[in-house]
Amino acid sequence: MRPGRIGTGRIARGAAAVAGSRRDGLVTGAFVAAMLGVAIFAVVQSLALHRALGDNDAIRALASGQSVPLREAAPGPLLRAAAAERLARGRITEAEAFAPKFRLIDGRISAAAFHADLGNARMRAAFDLIEANEIDDATVTIRLAQEDYRRAMRLVPEDFDVKFNFDLASRLVRVFPRPAIEPEEEGKRPRDVWTDLPGVPRGLP
């Protein structure tokens, strides 16, 4: 007896069954991959949110005067808050140590604000030196503040406050008296540079 021929209908049905099985497997695999991707994304977002909340808590603590240890790869706003906490206590040298960290992050606004804060702190220190008539030290301090303002302006040229403070520092340096050739007479009141500063009414500050 000759073997019977397999009908084309049976072949087509078998091929369709195999194709359907493969398609179901691909759909299932794609679904599993998609769910895995969603789960990974959720974990990453959760960790990012946790870090952001922790950074906000640290910034608030620093603003209240507390000392807070910084995590690795701290963002710009947190670095600025840490530097500002040092500056508020007059620790300019400690605040300066944060400068290299700002060069490692992509945070132009925070870096500019850091340099502006540093310049403002130097200006406050210079005013104290002027009041004590320590003009030479005040001059050096203000020139350092000018450099801080220049760095800030290179990062954020449109910041009017930084430009204003830089202009004030520049005018203040120009009116400082030159070193006297002869010592001042005993009992003679030293020159008050405040009254020579353009734009500042006499008798101020």
The phi, psi pair for 83, rounded to 5°, reads -65, -40
Of all helices (H) and strands (E), which one includes residue 107? none
Question: Locate tokens 């006499």: which residue?
Answer: 202
Q: Could you list the pLDDT tens digit for every one of the 205 residues in the chain? A: 455 555 555 555 555 555 556 665 666 666 566 666 655 545 444 444 445 555 566 667 666 666 767 767 677 788 888 888 889 889 999 999 988 888 877 778 889 999 999 999 999 999 999 999 998 999 999 999 999 999 999 999 999 999 999 999 999 887 776 554 445 555 555 555 544 444 444 444 4
Q: CB count, 10 Å around CB of 116?
A: 24
Q: How far apart are CA 94 and CA 83, in angstroms?
A: 8
pLDDT recorded at residue 17: 55
- What pLDDT is recorded for position 81? 86
Residues 165, 126: Cα–Cα separation, whole Å: 13
Tokens 């710009």, residue located: 76
